[in-house]
Structure 1
Amino acid sequence: MDIGAIFLTLAVLILIAMFVSGPFMQKQRKLVQEEHEISSLKAENERILNALQELDFDNTLGKIPTEDYPSMRTALMQKGVAILRQLDEYQQTASGQDAESLLEAAIADRRVDSALATSSDDAEKDEDLEALIAKRRSAQKAKSAGFCPKCGNPILVSDTFCPKCGNSLK
């Protein structure tokens, strides 16, 4: 067979493979584009939630004039609602809540999270956490039964056979 015929056959096979695999590649590109859109909408939603939280905080501090606060809050709320509606179109959520109530719930969750993060009982939480860690470490030490005599793999009290080599331990 001639080398030109081999190259021609190879080129035809490559073109056929590209034609057949084309629809599969198109679907993946569409999914990647949709995931990118959802990701950017979620990021924009987070940005608006942060802006609303900062606006509320600035209002409580008196940095924003009281006559400007409602209009600024309404504008941010409308942007947030529009983004949540777009997210609903992508995700097809079938919940009974409307976008405004979802936005209000997200803002309330943020406020609760920030209030918990700034509480003064951090030392008490640390002590509780240290106690839990110490309790877990002591429980793990009690469970250890040493090592397998055949392969040296760590074994537990409840093991009948070595999990690595299968050697009988009893």
Structure 2
Amino acid sequence: MDIGSLLLALSLVIIVVAFVAQPLLDRAAARREAASPADDLISQREAVLIELRDLDFDHTTGKIGDDDYAAQRARLVAKGAEVLRALDQRPAADLSSDSTDDDIEKAIAAVRQGKSAKTALANFDDEIEQAVAAVRKGGGKPKAARASAAPPPEGPSCLNCHQSIKAGDKFCPHCGTPISHACAHCGQPHLPNDKFCAKCGAKLNVASEAA
């Protein structure tokens, strides 16, 4: 086979490969364009909630000092408020249905119902705390994973191993984790800085509920 035939064959191969690959490249580009900014904001919100949960746990277990904890927590709460503000500025049609099933959406609803931005921002911290409690209750797993997981215990459960405990226990009988604070309504343990119970949703009063 001469050089001319080889070049012709190579050209044909390149044309065929380009023809076959073009639809795949077009679909990949379409998927990238379909990912809306709202989806990215929702992912950022979920990440903030998980970071807050992990930070609270590290502080409770002594892995992080009080000064570092306060600074990091303030940064995360501020970041969460910024994400909520950005979400509120998105058209309602841009938000997926999954973005409306968390307690944190109450802050967004407050703005849309006509409350001032200042009032809504003042409540963001509480709303973030409620969402953190919801994430902690589900063990930080994605929604799809939580749907197939075993149902949580009906009564109080350990924050560390999530096994059932009895109201009034000072230590988890399964993993030995100390229980220093518990909800006065349902007996569910909580972290010192929690504002809402992850079990029943009641507002917590750490001063009166310390075990």
What TM-score results when the alignment is normalised by the length of structure 2? 0.37
Q: Which has the larger radius of gyration?
A: 1
Which fold has the larger relative contact order, with Cα–Cα distance below 8 Å and residues 6 or more apart in sequence? Answer: 2
Normalized per residue, the structure richer in strand is 1
Write 1 or 2 for the structure with the bigger share of helix: 1
